[in-house]
Amino acid sequence: MSTILVTGGCGYIGSHTITDLVENGYDVVCADNNMRSTTQLLDAVEKITGKKIPFVFTDLCKIEEVRALFAAHRFDGIIHFAALKSVDESVKDPALYFYNNLASQVNVLKCTEEFAVPFFVFSSSCSVYGNVSDLPVTEDTILAKAESPYGLTKQMGEQIIRNTSPASKTKFILLRYFNPAGAHPSGHIGEVPFGRPSNLVPAITQFAAGKIPALTVFGTDYDTRDGSCIRDFIHVSDIAHAHTMAFKFLTTVTDGHYCDVFNLGTGNGITVLETIQAFEKVSGLQLDYKTAGRREGDVVAVYASNEKAAKTLGWKPQYTIEDIMRTAWAWEQRMATQ
């Protein structure tokens, strides 16, 4: 049975991916510094899977701690999530993002080489595309200028792996996911925003639950069908399962060197206002949201073609935008009772 290191596994996507890995027969070790995450999600993973997840508190920006982690376990693969992810925060504090996201990645890659770990899946983002004119986005779309320091760290992270791959025996997959949202259908795990949420779906559910005083739509004058930004919202459980399928695929690759990238999206763009309407439909609530000017760092529209992931990995999203809003709202209500 393979043992996979999941860095940042106490986070939103990480905890869902650990759940999916365990349900597909893998052993997992979680490493996290809990800067923006909580081990409570690992307790919830145990409730879902019946399996306790080994956890190592580790600062991946410190090479000696990363090396100790690798020395204490034998890993058959790495899924690297650990990174800060707020576009707005990265604009305000870019140095934090460059240091945290890139230093941690370099240290993990260094130890991946030192300890001869054969497979590596990297958590990338649609933010690497910047503002693009041709939609849907494919993996061959030329990357535009990153619109935020966060997006730039993902562009740089991908390039670091591409430069590492030719001299490495490790095989790599880079997963560019679009806008993960929703919560596990069990209701046990979901997104736990630290501070005011910067992502749309938790902002919607927190506003509906009375946790935040206002919901603001930033920009209503874009060249889109209703003036608001277009995004590709994909259920977090679909994203999680793609990591399991990516790891399985890597174990079948016979090429001496392998590094490839896959988009994870629904293939359909939905506007911010349409997303709010989807929540109102499944919840039966009407939201008194506000509108404001454009937010620095936001791209106008981005959504994915997922044909490559479907053909190569055999992956297709299973959940709709209504499923996303329904599970997100159920998770929000569950948090209110805890």
Domain at 149, CATH number: 3.40.50.720
290 contacts 204 by C-beta, under 8 angstroms: no
Task: Output the pLDDT for position 323.
Answer: 97
Per-residue pLDDT averaged across 176-192, rounded? Answer: 94
Structural domains in the chain (count): 1
Please compute the mean of the pLDDT values over residues 143-154 and round it to a whole number: 95
Mean pLDDT score, 22-40: 96
> Does 225 fall in a domain?
no
Q: Provide the residue range defining the domain that includes 41.
A: 3-183+234-265
Residue with structure tokens 């949202």? Answer: 181
In this predicted model, which residue has the larger pLDDT, 199 or 183? 183
Q: Is residue 143 part of a domain?
A: yes
289 catalytic residue (yes or no): no
Lowest-pLDDT choice from 120-134, 169-183, 233-247: 120-134
* pLDDT at position 18: 98
Q: Is 299 helix (H, G, I), strand (E, B) or coil?
A: coil
Per-residue confidence (pLDDT) for residue 300, from 0 to 100: 87
What's the whole-model pTM score? 0.94
In a domain, 135, yes or no: yes
**Closest Cα partner for 173 from 80, 310, 73?**
80
pLDDT tens-place string over residues 291-322: 999 988 788 888 899 999 999 999 999 999 99
Return mean pLDDT, the chain. 95
- Whether 8 maps to a domain, the answer reads yes
Buried b (16+ CB within 10 A) or exposed e, 60-94: bbebebbeebbeeeebbbbbbbbbbbbbbbbbeee
Q: Sort strands 119-125 and 171-177 into parallel, antiparallel or unpaired.
A: parallel
Q: Does the residue 337 lie in any domain? A: no
pLDDT score, position 259: 98
User: Hey, CA dihedral for 6, 8, 14, 18, is it positive or negative?
Assistant: positive
Query: Three-state SS for 332?
Result: helix
Q: Is the pLDDT assigned to residue 256 strictly greater than 90? A: no
Q: Do 160 and 113 touch, CB atoms closer than 8 A?
A: no
8 A C-beta contact, residue 242 and residue 315: yes
- Cβ(224)–Cβ(302) under 8 Å? no
pLDDT value at residue 150? 96
Inside any domain, residue 282: no
Task: Say yes or no to pLDDT of 193 above 80.
Answer: no
Residue 32: inside a domain: yes
Residue 55 vs residues 8, 22, 27, 183: alpha-carbon distances, Å: 11, 14, 12, 22
Cα 208 to Cα 196, 274, 275, 294, 337: the distances in Å are 14, 16, 14, 23, 15
Angle at Cα 20 formed by Cα 14 and Cα 25, nearest 5°? Answer: 125
Per the domain annotation, does 303 fall within a domain?
no
- Contact call for residues 235 and 324 (beta carbons, < 8 A): yes
Neighbour tally for 211: CB within 10 Å: 16
Structural contact between residues 224 and 271, judged by C-beta atoms closer than 8 angstroms: yes
Read off the pLDDT of residues 195-225 as tens digits, 9 standing for 90 and up: 778 789 999 999 999 999 999 999 999 999 9
Q: Length of the chain in residues, anyone?
A: 338
| Numbers of helices and strands, H then E, in the chain | 12, 13
Percent of the chain with pLDDT over 90: 88
pLDDT in tens, 128-145: 998 888 889 999 999 999
Residue of 12, 97, 150, 319 marked active site = 150
Check residues 267 and 170 and name the one with the higher pLDDT. Answer: 170
- Please say whether the beta carbons of 289 and 276 come within 8 A: yes
Cα maximum dimension of the chain = 56
For residue 97, name the pLDDT band (cuts at 50, 70, 90).
very high
Measured at the CA of 13, the angle between CA 214 and CA 297, to 5 degrees, comes to: 50
